[in-house]
Structure 1
């Protein structure tokens, strides 16, 4: 793949992110989960896929016993694993049985430190909710990337914004690895803090007219009393 001229790369994507960590979480349908975490400060990249099953190379139509997951790369200097898990538990209902195996609440820890943090956060959540959580805990084994049509699903519902970002990143892998694309996928759904959104809008690689389209979508959710909950 021919590298893009640096002047065309969104300013957010030109930042170096050393020592990133990975989190793999399941909280129901992965479309909303990817948008939700994409708008969190400190989250650099997002992708959706499948984990936790016994079959190899699952697809959306042949999931078997796999679970829909969102995988995050995050900067621990900006947001900790524990803070991500607090958001995870605040944004879905982990006390109910899932209607399908694929929508199971689950944490796939990548190392002993993540496991320890996860068990502590679960304990705190159960104390707060006064109820046993259904969230499963698994040691991370493998992640299978979902088909392209599932990546950045919220963004794909807004063609004007999608097409401009795809012109910058015509290659799907580069598109999905873009921090700016991950952030826009959240903002276009009205997710995220308004102050952060306004500060970051100019660094997302969008022209002024498309920035206004994105702003309109963000504000429409806010004015409509939108409350994102999986």
Structure 2
């Protein structure tokens, strides 16, 4: 049963399970990966930030040895970590070395199961491609949230849509953690398709005008390769 306190939320967020798992990936600049994973069924929350370095409290302009990273919370009953890894490796050029540490390919595993799966996935890709895979594998340690302007990047630049999201989510953290915002940002980048969008658009809590705008703004996605 939906709690009374949650009835103001979009329909897509009224039945989020408690038992979520987390995945942390780096695959070039983090705007498009945020949209890519935000579009995946079973992904509940996305956020972009910095990890993998040794300095405390990095910022975009003082990143030091950290890497641009996307972190997601997902429902393991809907999508598995193995499937997320397949999306990770198929959506950027892991066989091409990044020109800068900030944009390198990396996976940060959260437990032993994830560790085993990512090493196997990397080995499989090297065997299939016949090339070196430059993805670095690290144990997850700490994630620093990126500045507000980087979160749900394309959605924040659609002012009409953002006015409605600001009404639903007055504070930035609730916006960042919004499943509806993650989905809409994904569609704005071209992930998903019109048929799927039409099936779930009513669950985002948007007005008819905003829905029409979203349907009109679908783009064709490109391969993520911002770090080359």
TM-score normalized by the length of structure 2: 0.93
Aligned counterparts of 1:25 and 1:156: Cα–Cα separation in 2: 22
Pair 1:228 & 2:227 matched: no
The 5 A counterparts of 1:1-230 are 6-218=6-218, 221=219, 226-230=220-224
Unmatched runs of 5 consecutive residues or more in structure 1: none
Query: Retained in 2: the 8 A contact 1:39–1:183?
Result: yes
In structure 1, the residue corresponding to 2:22 is in which secondary structure? Answer: strand
Aligned counterparts of 1:184 and 1:142: Cα–Cα separation in 2: 27
Q: CA RMSD in A?
A: 1.3
In structure 2, the residue corresponding to 1:55 is in which secondary structure? Answer: coil
Aligned counterparts of 2:194 and 2:120: Cα–Cα separation in 1: 31
In structure 1, the residue corresponding to 2:40 is in which secondary structure? Answer: coil
Aligned counterparts of 2:194 and 2:82: Cα–Cα separation in 1: 23
Query: Retained in 2: the 8 A contact 1:201–1:211?
Result: yes
Aligned counterparts of 1:194 and 1:18: Cα–Cα separation in 2: 30
The one-character-per-residue Cα deviations of 1:164-184 (angstroms, maximum 9, x if unpaired) are 111110110111111111111
- Structure 1 segments, 4+ long, off by >6 Å, are none
Aligned counterparts of 1:145 and 1:114: Cα–Cα separation in 2: 22
Unmatched runs of 5 consecutive residues or more in structure 2: none
Shift of 1:5: 5.8
Query: Retained in 2: the 8 A contact 1:52–1:138?
Result: yes
Aligned counterparts of 2:10 and 2:47: Cα–Cα separation in 1: 19
In structure 1, the residue corresponding to 2:184 is in which secondary structure? Answer: helix
Segment drifting more, 155-164 vs 38-47: 155-164
Shift of 1:193: 3.6
